Structure 1
Amino acid sequence: MALLDHLPRHLFTSRGWGLLAAGTLSLLCAQVMGRRDLLGLGVLLVVLPLIALAGIRLVKPRFRVYREFSPATVETASATTVRLAVARTGPEAGRIIMEERLPSRFGESPAFRFPSRSASGGTSRYEYRLRSGKRGQFTIGPVTAEFTDPFGLSLHRHTIDDGDTLTVTPAAVELPVTGLAGARGNDGITATRIRANPSDDDVMTREYRHGDPMRRVHWPATARHGALMVRQEESVTTPEATIILDQRFGAHSSGFGSVFSGSGDDGNDLVTSDTFEWAVTAAMSVSAHLSERNYSLRFLDAAGDPAFHRSPSAPEPDCEEYSGAAGLQSIAESLAAIQLSGPHHLRREQHDTSLREHSGGSESGQSVFDDRLIDKLAAHRMRGPVLAVLGRISLAEARALAPAAGYAANAFAIVITDRPAESSEVLEALRLGGWRAVSVDAATSLPAAWTYFDEGDATLAAAAADVRRGAEVTR
C-alpha cells in the first residue's frame, strides 16, 4: 500500500494499479518459468486496465450543470445559497465524485457524489452556502467530475462547466438623519409650482431649463412673462444629489504597504487600500441613505467622467444617473469590483510621488477637478447637494475644486487620508469655497463623520476617543 500511495492517482485506481502489478509479475514469471498460461494471464491483467483507461477517455460521460445564487448578488458578510442541478446527458459511467471549485477565500471546495440519493429524473440537486468578508466578483466553479469505468480500474477527471460569477457588493452602513438635504427638506420631495396668469387652456408652466425640448415651450406664457416658459406636466419633482468618488491610485496609496493588488491565489483581489475601502463604503451608505428619501443620484469621478466606467462589475459603465430601487442596486453592483485607477507605483516610489502631488503635479497625467467636472455640476446647478468623497489631495487640487460648491444647494467633502491632522490647509481651501469639509482616517466611524456636517468637530473628537479607548482595551 505504501508503494501505491506514490503512484499517480489520476490514471488508475488502487485496483487498476494492482492488476498492472500482478500482470507485470505474471509476465516476469512466465519469462523465467516458460509457462504459457502465466503469459496469457499476465497479458490479460496488463491489457484490462489499459483498455479501461482508453475507453474512459474516449467515451466521456456528459453533463449539464445549472447553478443559481440566492440572492443573486450578496452583501459583504452576508450569506448566499448556491443551488446546483447536475444532469447526465451522455453514456453511463461508474462511480462519480464531483467537486465545486471555489476561490480560496471561501474555504474548502465542497465535494459530492453523483447521482445523489435524492436524484429524480436523472438530475441530482445539491445546495451549500457561501459568505465573503470582502467585496468583489468571484468565479464559483467550475464543477469537476472524477469518474471511473464500470470495473473501477481507471480514473478520469475533467471539467463539466465554466462556472458562474458571484457579485459581492459593499454593505451600507445606516447613517443618521442630517441637514444634507438642505432647502429641499429631508423627505426627498419638492413642490415646484410656477403658475402663469390664467390662460385659455390653464396650462401650468415653469421657467425654461437647459436641456428642455423646444416642443414644450408655452409661447403665450413666454410672451406674458418676458422669459422662456415651458409646460410643466408634473407639480412634484425629484431632488438630485451628486456624488464625486475619487478613485485615483495616488490619492489612496500613502503609507507603507497601504495598497494591495490582485496577487491572491484566487485571482480576485482588487487594487485597493484601507482608505479606498472606507470611501466605497461611504459611497454605498450615502447612496442608500439618499435613495430612501427619493433622491436621484449622479456619480462622477474626479475628472468629471462617469464614476463606474472602469468598474468591471458595472451593469452600465457609462451611466451617470441612478434612481429608485433599480438604480441603487446598479450602484451596489458597480461598487462591487471598482478599484483604484492610474499608475501603480512601487512602494519605494510612493514618497517621490507624494512630493510631486503636494507640489501641484498629477501623477496620472489626467486633469482632475477642472472645467469638465465644473461643467457637469453647472448643468445641474442648485438642484441638490454635492458630496465629494476624496482621498489625499494636494492644496492646488483643493483650490481647483473649491469653486464647485457654488453649483450645489449644499456642498460636503470628506477627505480620507492616513494623516487627517495634516489636511488643515486643504480643508481650509475647501471651506473658503463654500464646502463643509472634514478629514478622517480609515478607523473613523462613518456615522460620526456623517454627523459632523451638523454637529461639528465635537462628534469626530468623541469618535476618535472611543477608537483610542477600544485600542487600549485590546492591548
Structure 2
Amino acid sequence: MALLEKLPRHLFTLRGWGMLAAGAFTLAAAQVMGRRDLLTLALLLLVLPLVSLAGIRLVKPRFRVYREFNPSPVEASAPATVHLAVARTGPGSGRVAMEERLPAHFGQAPSFWFPSRSATGGTSRYEYHLTSRHRGQFRIGPVTAEFTDPFGLSLHRQAIDDGDVLTVTPAAVVLPATGLAGARGSDGVTATRVRANPSDDDIMTREYRHGDPMRRVHWPATARHGSLMVRQEESVTTPEATIILDHRAGAFSGGPGTSMPGLPDPEGHAPATSDTFEWSVVAAMSVSAHLTERNYSLRLLDTGGEPAFLHSPSAPEPAMEEFSGASGLQSIAESLAAIHLSGPAHPRRDGLLRDAIRREAPARHADRRGAPGVRTPAGAEQGPPAFDDQLMDKLSAHRMRGPLIAVLGRITAEEAAELAPAAAYGTNSFAILAVERPTDFQDVLEVLRQGGWRALAVAPTTRLTVAWGQLEQDAALPVAPASEVRRGAGVAT
C-alpha cells in the first residue's frame, strides 16, 4: 500500500493502479504458465483502466459557474462573502469533488462536493468568506473539478470556469475634524458674494425686509409672488478640493521584493509598490473621504498634471479627474485599489550619481524643457516632467476654489522650488511627504513653507491622524496673489 500511495494521483485512483498492477502480475503468470485464460484476464485488467482514462478526457462533463461578491468592491481587512452557484449543463451523473482556487494570501482554498445536499433545480449553491489585508485586484477562481469514471479507476482534474476579479480598495482612516478645509456653511457649501449684475436666470430672491433698498426689488418675482421680493446677491457654490498624488517610482523606495499582490500588469510583471507609497495611497483615500463627507467636489491629479488614475488598471474611468458625491468617492476607491508605482527609478537611489546629479540640476531642468544639446549624467533616467506648466495650468484654472493637498514621496529641493508657487492657487495648501527618514527633508520642507505651504514629512509608521493634526499646527506663511505666480519663481533658501 505504501508503494501505491507514491504513485501519481492525477491519472488513476488507487483502485486503478491496483488493477494495472494485478494485470501486469497476471500477464507475467500467463507467460510462465502458458495459460491463455490468464492472458485474457491480464489484457482485461490492463485495458479497462486505460479505456476509462481516455473516456473521461474525451467526454468531459460541462458545468456553469456563477460567482458573486458581497460587497463588491470590498475594503482591505473587511470580510467579503462569496456566493457560488454551480449547475451541470451536460451529460453526466455522480458526485464531483470541486475546489475554488485562491491567491496564496487568502489562506486555504475551499473545497466542496457537487451536487450539494441542498441542491435545487440542478443547481448547487455554496458560500464562503474572504478577507484581504492588501489592496489590489485578485483573481478568485477558477473552480476546479475532479472527475472519475463510473468504475472509479481514473481521475481527471480541470477548471470549469475562468474565475472572477475581486477588487480590494484601501480602507479610509477617519480623520479628525479640523479647520484645514477652510470656511464652509453648516451644509458643507461656501457662500460667494456676487458683485457684478447677475442675469435673471442666476438671480435668487427673498422676501423684502425692513431696511432693504428699493433698488434691489425684483419686480418680476414680486408680480409672481404678490409681495415684495428683493434680489439676494449671494450665491452658494459647492467647494472644490484638489489632491496631487505622486506615484512616481523615483519618489518612493520600491526595489526588489516590493511587488503588489494580485493581478500582474499587461506585460506580466508584478506591479511595484513600497511602504511609503502604501501610506500615501491610504492618505489619499482618507483625505478624499474626509472632504467628500463635507460636500467637497474633488479633483485628483498626478505630479505632471495628468489625471491621477490614468495608469491605474482598476480605474473605472482612467481619464477622469473630477469626482463628487458618494459615487465619485466610490470611483476614487476603486481607482486606488490597483494603482502602482510608474516611471524610472529615482537617481537619488544611486549614491555614486547623487553629487553629480545635484551639480547638474540646472542642466537637467533645461533638458526637461527641451533645451537642445543638454545631457543628463549617464544612468540618470528621466521620467515624465513633474510640477511643470501643465500642472500649474490645471491648478490656475481652479484657483482659490478650495484647499490644495499634495501627497508626495521624496522630492528634491529643486522640485520643491518648482512646486512652491502653486500654494497661491489654493485657499489652503498642504503637502505631506511620505519618506523613510523625515529628518533628511527639512530643507525641502523649508522651501515649501517659504512658498506658503503647510508641509511636513512623515515615516510610513506615522499614524495618519497624527500627521493630519500636525498639518493644522504648522503655520503657513503669507503667499503672493495667484495672479502674481510665475513658473520657475522658486523661493530662495
TM-score range, shorter chain: 0.7 to 0.9
Partner secondary structure for residue 139 of structure 2: strand
User: Does the CA-based 8 Å contact 1:195-1:204 persist in structure 2?
Assistant: no
Shift of 1:356: 6.2
Shift of 1:192: 3.2
Letter in 1 for 2:323: Y
Relative distance call for 1:353 and 1:186 in structure 2 (3 A) is: farther
Q: 2: distance between equivalents of 1:121 and 1:353?
A: 70
User: Does the CA-based 8 Å contact 1:194-1:204 persist in structure 2?
Assistant: no
Q: 2: distance between equivalents of 1:366 and 1:239?
A: 30
Q: How many residues align?
A: 427
Letter in 2 for 1:282: A
Relative distance call for 1:448 and 1:247 in structure 2 (3 A) is: same
Q: 1:418 aligns with which of 422, 426, 436?
A: 436
Instruction: Report matched runs for 1:77-96 at 5 Å.
Output: 77-96=77-96
* 2:272 paired with 1:274: no
Relative distance call for 1:344 and 1:186 in structure 2 (3 A) is: farther
Letter in 1 for 2:258: F
Task: Give 2:465's aligned residue.
Answer: 447
Residue by residue over 1:436-475, the C-alpha shift from the partner in whole angstroms, topping out at 9 and shown as x without a partner, is 1111111111111111122249xxxxxxxxxxxxxxxxxx
* 2:203 paired with 1:204: yes
Identity of aligned residues (%): 67
Q: 2: distance between equivalents of 1:133 and 1:452?
A: 27
Task: Give 1:308's aligned residue.
Answer: 309
Relative distance call for 1:186 and 1:275 in structure 2 (3 A) is: farther
Instruction: Report matched runs for 1:216-227 at 5 Å.
Output: none
Q: 2: distance between equivalents of 1:35 and 1:160?
A: 47
Partner secondary structure for residue 423 of structure 1: helix
Shift of 1:301: 0.5
* 2:434 paired with 1:427: no
Relative distance call for 1:356 and 1:296 in structure 2 (3 A) is: farther
Partner secondary structure for residue 3 of structure 1: helix
Q: 2:259 aligns with which of 252, 258, 261?
A: 261
Shift of 1:365: 3.2
Partner secondary structure for residue 288 of structure 1: helix
Relative distance call for 1:353 and 1:290 in structure 2 (3 A) is: farther
Shift of 1:2: 1.3
Instruction: Report matched runs for 1:43-62 at 5 Å.
Output: 43-62=43-62
User: Does the CA-based 8 Å contact 1:247-1:276 persist in structure 2?
Assistant: yes
Relative distance call for 1:34 and 1:365 in structure 2 (3 A) is: same
User: Does the CA-based 8 Å contact 1:104-1:265 persist in structure 2?
Assistant: no
Letter in 1 for 2:449: R
TM-score by length of 1: 0.84
Residue by residue over 1:131-159, the C-alpha shift from the partner in whole angstroms, topping out at 9 and shown as x without a partner, is 01111111000111101011111100111
Task: Give 2:236's aligned residue.
Answer: 236
Moved more, 326-335 or 443-452: 443-452
Relative distance call for 1:28 and 1:166 in structure 2 (3 A) is: same
Q: 1: distance between equivalents of 2:311 and 2:62?
A: 38
Shift of 1:194: 2.4
Relative distance call for 1:408 and 1:258 in structure 2 (3 A) is: farther
Task: Give 1:35's aligned residue.
Answer: 35
Partner secondary structure for residue 443 of structure 1: coil
Relative distance call for 1:62 and 1:272 in structure 2 (3 A) is: same
Q: 2: distance between equivalents of 1:295 and 1:43?
A: 80
Q: 2: distance between equivalents of 1:149 and 1:233?
A: 83
Shift of 1:198: 8.8
* 2:142 paired with 1:142: yes
Relative distance call for 1:178 and 1:258 in structure 2 (3 A) is: farther
Shift of 1:345: 7.5
Structure 2 regions of 5+ residues with no counterpart?
205-231, 365-379, 476-493
Task: Give 2:323's aligned residue.
Answer: 322
Q: 1: distance between equivalents of 2:381 and 2:271?
A: 20
Moved more, 182-191 or 435-444: 182-191
Residue by residue over 1:89-133, the C-alpha shift from the partner in whole angstroms, topping out at 9 and shown as x without a partner, is 111144311111111001111111111111111111111111011
Task: Give 1:209's aligned residue.
Answer: none
User: Does the CA-based 8 Å contact 2:434-2:457 persist in structure 1?
Assistant: yes
Letter in 2 for 1:15: R
Letter in 2 for 1:107: G
Relative distance call for 1:396 and 1:453 in structure 2 (3 A) is: same
* 2:369 paired with 1:370: no
Residue by residue over 1:369-402, the C-alpha shift from the partner in whole angstroms, topping out at 9 and shown as x without a partner, is 0111000000101111100011110000000000
Task: Give 1:175's aligned residue.
Answer: 175
Task: Give 2:374's aligned residue.
Answer: none
Structure 1 regions of 5+ residues with no counterpart?
206-231, 458-475
Task: Give 1:14's aligned residue.
Answer: 14
Partner secondary structure for residue 405 of structure 2: strand
Task: Give 1:286's aligned residue.
Answer: 287
